Amino acid sequence: MSLPFKRLIPVALFTMLGAGIVAALPGTPARAALPQGAAAPDFQTQAVLAGKPFGFHLADALKKGPVVLYFFPAAFTSGCTIEAHDFSDATEAFRASGATVIGLSHDPLDKLSRFSVTECRNKFAVGVASSKVISAYKVKLPLLSMSNRTSYVIAPDGKILMMYSAFSPQDHVAKALAAVQAWHRTHPAS
């Protein structure tokens, strides 16, 4: 591809196409993600809720109940916007089962701040996924600094209850909510 032609392609479209092609390849990180029963790596990051920044620490969030940790490639792309709307619509159902939802992306905090207001609809937090966290959770897209689309449900003991990885945002919320509700049924006092 010649340099002048590259300049004509919007960066977001180029990134999405690259991520889609890479995600469809055999052996992509979707198959290498942390399995059910594995220990979830602890991390701290900067996050935003309703446009307001705060420090997020996984260990602290787990003291309150399960955590739905979902990785998404890039704020304001079509699939990530759909997924944010879906999580936003289900936030109360997650809370009713004692779960905290946080989305992580390699985007800068100022971009995530806007995304938290417009697409997450002020209902759940989104945070910065460092390269270290992306690697620890085995969700890195090859050749790119961003993560693939992978959702985890982490029990308060730090073990992964559910992992789902698919480039389409379609089933992430339903699978995560089912796992949280199943956990809640066996831990009603939690």
Beta-sheet strands, E only, within the chain: 44-49, 52-57, 67-71, 100-105, 125-128, 150-154, 160-165
β-sheet bridge partners, residue 160:
154
Rounded to the nearest angstrom, the gap between the alpha carbon of residue 118 and the centroid of all alpha carbons in its chain is 17
Angle of the 172-186 helix axis to the 78-96 helix axis, nearest 10: 20
Q: What is the rounded CA–CA span in Å between residue 34 and residue 36?
A: 7
Is residue 178 a contact partner of residue 189, using CB atoms and an 8 Å limit? no
Lookup result for tokens 């701040």: 113
Q: Which residues are catalytic?
A: 80
Q: What is the rounded CA–CA span in Å between residue 181 and residue 78?
A: 28
Lookup result for tokens 């446009």: 51
The first and second tokens of residue 57, run together, are 């620490």
